[in-house]
Amino acid sequence: MISLANYLVDELGAVSYFDLVMLLCNGTLALVIFCYLLFGKTARNRFYVLLGLLARYALAALYAVIAARTFFGWYLTPVEPSEVIVNLAMCCAVVLCRGDIGLLMRTLRQVREREQEAQF
Q: How far apart are CA 31 and CA 65, in angstroms?
A: 9
**Rounded alpha-carbon distances, angstroms, from residue 56 to 92, 101, 105, 108:** 15, 6, 10, 15
pLDDT 10s digits, 34-56: 999 998 877 665 666 677 788 88
- Above 80 in pLDDT, residue 87? yes
Q: Which of 42-51, 58-67, 108-117 has the highest mean pLDDT?
A: 58-67
pLDDT of residue 34: 95
**Residue 71: exposed, middle, or buried by beta-carbon count in 10 A (0-12, 13-18, 19+)?**
middle
Q: How far apart are CA 104 and CA 4, in angstroms?
A: 40
Q: How far apart are CA 72 and CA 76, in angstroms?
A: 11
Domain of residue 59 covers: 4-119
Domain count, the chain: 1
pLDDT of residue 1: 44
What is the reported pTM? Answer: 0.83
